[in-house]
Amino acid sequence: MSDPVAALEAALTRIEQTERSLQAWAFIDADGAREQACRVHAAAPLRGLILGVKDIFDVAGQPTQCGIPQATSTPAAQDAAAVAALRAAGAVVLGKTHTTAYAWLDPAPTANPYDATRTPGGSSAGSAAAVAAGHCQIALGSQTAGSTLRPASFCGVVGFKPTFGRIATGGMHPLSHSLDHVGIFARRVHDAIAAARALDATIVVPPEAPALRVLVSDLEGDEALEPSSREALARAVEGLRAAGCRVESQRLPDAVTRGGELLQTVAAYESVQRNGAHWHALGDALPPRLAELLAEGESTPRTRYEDALLLREQLRPNITALFAQADLLLAPCAPGEAPERSTTGDARYVRPWTFFGLPAIALPCGRGAHGLPVGVQLIAPAGADGALLAAALRLEAATG
Amino acid sequence: MSDPVAALEAALTRIEQTERSLQAWAFIDADGAREQACRVHAAAPLRGLILGVKDIFDVAGQPTQCGIPQATSTPAAQDAAAVAALRAAGAVVLGKTHTTAYAWLDPAPTANPYDATRTPGGSSAGSAAAVAAGHCQIALGSQTAGSTLRPASFCGVVGFKPTFGRIATGGMHPLSHSLDHVGIFARRVHDAIAAARALDATIVVPPEAPALRVLVSDLEGDEALEPSSREALARAVEGLRAAGCRVESQRLPDAVTRGGELLQTVAAYESVQRNGAHWHALGDALPPRLAELLAEGESTPRTRYEDALLLREQLRPNITALFAQADLLLAPCAPGEAPERSTTGDARYVRPWTFFGLPAIALPCGRGAHGLPVGVQLIAPAGADGALLAAALRLEAATG
C-alpha cells in the first residue's frame, strides 16, 4: 500500500507531463488533495489511491459542470454519495474529470492516451484516460448506455458497472433514471474491487470460484465486429480455458440486441423529461448530439416509452435464462480499437446489459492492429457482482 | 375512482368502530388528512386511496417512534422518499401504523383483524391489519426478513416486496441495510400495482402474459407446513392451471433454506452495527427479542458476517438457475394460519427471497381450519417486478 502523499505527488507529476495533450481534467484541486493525503488513516482500505471524479458527480467545494462550461458554476456544498464513500475509505479526491456534455455523445476534449487522434470513448472520457495515463489510480464514471465499459476498452483499463441500483446515485447528475449506473475505473481488478467494496461493503468476492461455465457470444457473420475485437475475444477464451473454465460459444437471443435498441427510447424520453427545460436554456451552448437527443425525447410519445419499459419486462426472461447454462457471459466491449475523435465510439455491445441492469466489467485484452488497447467484457446475473469480480481476477491473471 | 373526502370519512368511521380492539395505529392525523383529501388532483393515479405508513418511515409533522414509545419524539421534518412519492401521486396520508420494535420480532400491540387472540404477523403489523380492516386502502411496510409477506398472509391482504434496491429507502429507519426492502400492502393487486408504479414508474405490468411456467415448491415431508397452507398452495396451483399456466412441482435446492438461515447472521450483524448504541441507550425500554438480537449481533464476529455475504454470492447461481425452468416460483407464505399473539409467526418461507433480494408477492388464498386467512407467495427473478405483478393479477382473478 503506497503512501498517499507520495502517490499524489507522483500523480501530479504525471499530470504536469501529459495533461496538456491529454485533457483529462475539468478541475484539479492539488492543494485540497495534499491536505487530504496527509490525513489518510494508516488502515484505510483505499489508502494510496488517488481518485478522479467524472464531472457529473458533486465534489464538495468544486464546481459540477456536466461537460459544459457554465457561465456560473457554484461549488457543490457536499460530496455525492459515491464520492463521500470513497473519500471516507481513504481515497484522495484530486478533482473532476472531463465528461461528454451531460454524459451523452458529444465528444469531450480528452484525447486517447495511446493516440491523440483517437477518442478515449465516452461519456466517462476523462476518467478512463486519467486512469490509463496514471493521473490517478481509480476514477468514478457513470453508464447510461455504454459510458464506462466502452471508454475502459478504448483506454486499456478496467471498467466495472455494478448491478443497477446497487450503488447510490445521490449527487450524480441524472441523465436517465432507470438506466443510470455508477461506474468504476481502475488499472487493476484488485483496485476496482477495493473501490466497489467501499461503495457497497456487501459486494464480496469469493476467493476460490468453482469451475466456471462461460458462454461466449457467437458473433459469426456480425459485420460490425472488427478483427481486433475478435482476436481479443479469442485471447480471453484461451485465458479462461487455461484458468480451468468451461467456455462454450452460442448465438445470444434476439432479446439482447432488441434491449440495446430499446435503451435509446428510454434514454431519450427520461433524459428529456428530467433535463429538457435546462437543455433548452443552454441555447447556443447546447452541443449537436445533445440537441438531437432533446429533439428525439420531445418527439417520443409517452406510449412509446411505456412500450419500451413493457418490452424490457417481456424480454427479461430470455436474458435470465442464459444464466442457467452459464455463470457468466463473455462478449466484446466495442467493435474494435478506439475510432477517431469525431465520435465516442459504438456502444452496441454494451447497451443491452445496461438496459437489463446486469453487472458487467471490461478488461483489457491485448492490442489491435494500430497498437491501441482492446477490451472484452464479462457479464453476470443481477446481484452477482462479487462472482463477476472473482471471474475478472481470474481472467486478468490468465491474460496478464 | 372514489372521492378522497368520502374515502377518508369512511375510513375514519371504520377506525372509530374497530381501532380500540385492533390497535393498528400509532398516530393518526385526521385533520391533516382531511386537508389533503380536499386537494387531491382529479387525475392523480392514487386518488381515493387512504395510506397508512409503518412507523419506521418519516412523515412530515408526525413522530417516528419505531415501535417504542419514545420519551421525546420530535415530529419528522419531511416525508420519507416512499411517503413523498405516494403523497405526490394522490394518496392521502392518514398516519402511522404500529410496528414491532425496530421492525424486529417483539409483538406490536396490534390484533389480527380476524381473531383478536391471534397475531397479525410482523413486523408490519399495523399496516397489514389496517388494510385488512378497511382503515386504509394501501399501507407502507418494510421487509428485512419476513415483515411484509408474512403479515399479509395472516391478515388476508396483498403484500408486495419489490426487487432489493428498487424502491428508495430514504427516510426509513434502517434495520439491516443489505436486507431492508420497502413493502406495499393493499386489498387488491390493482392497488398494489398503482402504489408500486407511483414509487417506481419503470415498474410496468405486461397486459397479456404468455403461458407462464410456474414451479411450485415441493414440500413433501416438511413437518413445519400445516394443512391450511398445503390447501392454499393446492388452490393456487389449481387457479394457475385454470388460468392457462403450466405448473410443475419440484424440491427447491438447499440454497433456498441455507439463504434463509444466513439471513439471521447478516441481520444481527448489520442491525447492531447501525443501532447497537441506540438500543443500549433504551435501557429498560429495550424489549426482549430486540435484546436477543443485540446480544447476537454483538457476539457475531465480523468474519462470520463476511462469510455469510460470501455464501450469498456462492449460493446465488443455484437460485438464478431456477428461473431457467420457470418464470415464477410458488411457495407458502407461512406454515399456516396466524398463531397466538406471543409471537409474530414463522418467517422461514419468506426469508430466503429477502436474502437473495428477489421480488415476491403474497396473495390471500382461502381460509384455514380456524377461519383465518392463509396466503401464498409468488417469487420472480430480480428485476422482474412487472411480470410478477401481472402473474399476481391472474392468480387473484383465478382464485377470486
Contact yes or no for B113/B131 (Cβ under 8 A): no
Grid coordinates representing A342 are 469525431
- Residue in chain B closest to A317 (alpha carbons) equals B327
CB distance from A168 to chain B under 8 Å? no
pLDDT at B2: 83
Question: Is pLDDT at B71 greater than 80 in this prediction?
Answer: no
Residues with Cβ < 8 Å from B43, sequence gap 6 or more? none
- Per-residue pLDDT averaged across B351-358, rounded? 97
Determine the angle formed by the axes of helices B4-22 and B30-39, rounding to 10 degrees: 160
Q: Choose the catalytic residue: B124, B147, B153, B176.
A: B147
Residues 6+ apart with CB under 8 A from A92: A4, A7, A8, A33, A36, A37, A40, A49, A50, A51
Inform me whether the C-beta atom of residue B211 falls under 8 Å from chain A C-beta atoms.
Answer: no
Return left, alpha or beta for B165; rule: phi > 0 is left, psi -120 to 50 is alpha, else beta.
Answer: left
Pick the CATH number of A4-199 from 3.90.1300.10, 3.40.630.30, 3.10.580.10, 3.30.1370.100: 3.90.1300.10
Least CA distance to B388: which residue of chain A? A313
Angle between the N-to-C axes of helices A227-242 and A385-399, in degrees from 0 to 180, rounded to the nearest 10: 100
Residue A261 CA to its chain's centroid (Å) = 19
Q: Which residues of A touch B306 (CB under 8 A)?
A: 204
Q: Does B224 reach chain A within 8 Å, measured CB to CB?
A: no
In chain B, residues under CATH classification 3.90.1300.10 are 1-255+310-400
Cell numbers linked to A347: 456502444
Cell of A239: 485465458
Residue B207, min C-alpha distance to chain A (Å): 9
Contacts of A316 in chain B (CB under 8 A): 381, 383-384, 387
pLDDT recorded at residue B1: 61
User: How much is the average pLDDT of B64-77?
Assistant: 86
pLDDT, tens only, B264-282: 999 999 999 999 999 999 9
Count CA within 13 A, CB hemisphere, residue B246: 7
Query: For residue B385, what is the nearest residue in chain A, using CA coordinates?
Result: A313
Out of A127, A142, A147, A176, the active site residue is A147
Q: Do A137 and A157 contact (CB within 8 A), yes or no?
A: no
In chain B, the residue whose alpha carbon lies closest to the alpha carbon of A355 is B383
Which among B134, B152, B133 has a CA at the least distance from the CA of B142?
B152
- Cα torsion for B24, B27, B30, B32, to the nearest 10°? -140
Residue with C-alpha cell 458462454? A215
Would you state the pLDDT for residue B362?
A: 98
- Chain A nearest-CA residue for B202: A309
Which strands, in side-by-side order, build the sheet including B25-28? Answer: B25-28, B92-97, B50-54, B138-143, B181-186, B158-161, B360-367, B373-379, B328-332, B213-217, B246-250
Q: Is A356 on the interface with B (CB under 8 A)?
A: yes
> Chain B: nearest CA to A112, how far in angstroms?
36
CA distance B116 to chain A (A): 40
- Which of B57, B66, B125 has the alpha carbon at shortest distance from B91? B57
B31 CB contacts (<8 Å, ≥6 apart)?
none
* Confidence band for B207, pLDDT divided at 50, 70 and 90: confident
Residue A74: predicted pLDDT: 87
Supply the angle between the helices B254-281 and B302-325 in degrees, to the nearest 10: 140
CB B20, CB B79: distance < 8 Å: no
B164 at A interface, C-beta within 8 A: yes
Instruction: Locate B199 and state its grid cell.
Output: 414509487
Residue B321 backbone dihedrals phi, psi, to 5 degrees = -65, -25
Nearest to B166 among A165, A314, A381 (CB): A165
pLDDT number for residue B364 = 98
Euclidean distance between CA atoms B366 and B360, whole angstroms: 19
Is residue A3 within 8 A of residue A50, CB to CB? The reply is no
Interface residue A386 vs chain B (CB under 8 A) = yes
Q: Which element (helix H / strand E) includes B238?
A: helix B227-242
Q: Are A354 and B383 in contact (CB under 8 A)?
A: no
Using DSSP, state whether A348 is helix, strand or coil.
coil
**Whole-prediction pTM value?**
0.88
Phi, psi of A93 (to 5 degrees): -80, 110
Q: Do A151 and A354 contact (CB within 8 A), yes or no?
A: no
Q: What is the pLDDT along chain A (400 residues), one digit of tens a residue?
A: 689 999 999 999 999 999 999 999 999 999 999 999 999 999 999 999 999 999 999 999 999 999 998 766 789 999 999 999 999 999 999 999 999 999 999 999 999 999 999 999 999 999 999 999 999 999 999 999 999 999 999 999 999 999 998 998 999 999 999 999 999 999 999 999 999 999 998 999 988 766 899 999 999 999 999 999 999 999 999 999 999 999 999 999 999 999 999 999 999 999 999 999 999 999 999 999 999 999 999 999 999 999 999 999 899 999 999 998 899 999 999 999 999 999 999 999 999 999 999 999 999 999 999 999 999 999 999 999 999 999 999 999 998 7
Mark yes or no for CB contact A314/B206 under 8 Å.
Answer: yes
The answer to whether residues B248 and B274 touch, using CB atoms and an 8 Å cutoff, is no
**Which of B377-391 are b and which e, b meaning 16 or more Cβ less than 10 Å from the residue's Cβ?**
bbbbbbbbbbbbbbb
CB A143 within 8 A of CB A101: no
Arithmetic mean of pLDDT, B276-298: 96
Q: Is B54 a catalytic residue?
A: yes
H or E element: which one contains B4? helix B4-22
* B-chain residues near A178 (CB < 8 A): 202
Kindly determine whether residue A383 and residue B314, on different chains, have CB atoms separated by under 8 Å: no
Q: What is d(CA A277, CA A294) in angstroms, rounded to the nearest whole number? A: 10
Which residues in chain A are contacts of B321 at CB distance < 8 A? 323-324
Mapping DSSP onto H, E and C, the string for B138-161 reads EEEEEECCCCCHHHHHHHCCEEEE
A382 touches chain B (CB under 8 A): yes
Q: Which of A123, A124, A127, A153 is catalytic?
A: A123
Reduce the DSSP state of residue A135 to 3 states and report it.
coil
Predicted complex ipTM = 0.76
Which chain B residues are Cβ-neighbours of A317 within 8 angstroms? 323, 327, 381, 384, 387
pLDDT of residue B211 exceeding 90, the answer is no
What angle in degrees, to the nearest 10, is found between the helix axes of A385-399 and B302-325?
90
Alpha carbon distance B159, B153 (integer Å): 8
Q: Which residue in A205, A211, A185, A191 sits closest to A390, CA to CA?
A: A205
Q: Tell me how many degrees the CA angle B77-B83-B88 measures, rounded to the nearest 5.
A: 100
Of residues B50, B24, B191, the one with CA closest to residue B121: B24
CB of B151 within 8 A of CB of B99? no
Q: How are beta strands B181-186 and A50-54 bridged, if at all? A: unpaired
Rounded CA separation B278/B270 (Å): 14
CA of B164 vs chain A CAs: smallest distance (Å): 9
C-alpha pair distances (Å), B149 with each of A342, B49, B109, B185: 54, 21, 19, 9
Q: Quick one: residue A334, left, alpha or beta (phi over 0 = left, psi -120 to 50 = alpha)?
A: beta
Q: What is the pLDDT of residue A400?
A: 75
Q: Do B384 and A323 touch (CB under 8 A)?
A: no
Contact B392, B363 (CB under 8 A): yes
Query: Is the model's pLDDT at B365 over the cut of 80?
Result: yes
Q: Is B228 designated active site?
A: no
Q: Of B251, B233, B216, which Cα lies nearest the Cα of B366?
A: B233
Residue A324 C-alpha, separation from nearest chain B C-alpha, in angstroms: 4
Report CA Rg, chain A: 20
Q: Pick from B313, B316, B323 the residue to mutate for testing the A interface (most A CBs within 10 Å).
A: B313
**Residue type for position B345:** G
Instruction: Choose among A376, A329, A379: nearest CA to A229.
Output: A376
What is the CATH topology of the domain spanning B1-255+310-400?
Amidase signature (AS) enzymes (3.90.1300)
Q: What are phi and psi of A224, to 5 degrees?
A: -75, -25
Give CA A158 to chain center in angstroms: 9
* Sign of the torsion formed by the C-alpha atoms of A209, A211, A217 and A221: positive
φ, ψ of residue A372 in degrees (nearest 5)? -90, 155
Q: Residue with C-alpha cell 418464470?
A: B327
Distance from CA of A391 to the nearest CA of B (A): 12
Quick one: how many helices (H) and strands (E) in chain A? 12, 11
Q: What angle do CA B230, B236, B237 make, to 5 degrees?
A: 90
Catalytic residue (choose from B96, B123, B142, B217): B123
